[in-house]
Amino acid sequence: MEILMAFLLIPVLFLVGVVVASLPLYVTLKFFSVDNNTLMQALITTVSAWFVSLVVGVALGIVGMVIPVIPHLLAGIAPFAVYVWLVQKFYALNLIESIIVSVVQMVVAVLMVLGFIFGILLPLGIGAGLMAI
């Protein structure tokens, strides 16, 4: 029975991950007052970016077996370029606005992670350490 629960946990964690990964984009677009900004649109953009980045990464990996250096250099830039292109496509922004939104979205995501670490995990660790004394 426990193994079944573990298998049911995977899709739940995937859905939670999609929502959490979409929140920085949603918050950033709210900050810039972009039209057509809904959480569902952010979810679609995020999942699309994951799948397109996966396809581009696999293609660059296959090309990297033949040409050794260039695809690996492009693999660092490709996910950002894919994300900028999808934000531009889904929200009807120009290239500069899309780049700015993508960069600010990354900063918001980093701030959310730091808030999670310092707001939840660090106090839990300190509390557990004090209880062990």
Residue 40 lies in a domain: yes
| Nearest CA among 123, 108, 13, 66 for reference residue 131 | 123
Are the beta carbons of 31 and 56 closer than 8 angstroms? no
Q: Is the pLDDT of residue 39 over 80?
A: yes
Mean pLDDT of the chain: 86
| Cβ contact 46:23 at 8 Å | no
DSSP 71-105: HHHHHHHHHHHHHHHHHHHHHT--HHHHHHHHHHH
Q: Considering the domain boundaries, does residue 39 fall inside one?
A: yes
Average pLDDT rounded to a whole number, residues 11-33? 89
Rounded Cα distance, 15 and 98, in Å: 26
Residue 91 lies in a domain: yes
Tokens of 35: 């039209």
pTM of the predicted model, to two decimals?
0.76
Instruction: Tell me, yes or no, whether 99 lies in a domain.
Output: yes
Residue 55 lies in a domain: yes
- What range defines the domain where residue 108 resides? 22-132
For residue range 50-97, list pLDDT tens digits in order. Answer: 999 999 988 888 888 888 888 878 888 888 999 999 999 999 899 999
- What's the number of domains the chain is made of? 1
Taking a C-beta distance cutoff of 8 angstroms, is the pair 86, 49 a contact? yes
Q: Is residue 66 part of a domain?
A: yes
Whether 112 is covered by a domain: the verdict is yes
Cβ atoms within 10 A of the Cβ of 38, count?
A: 10
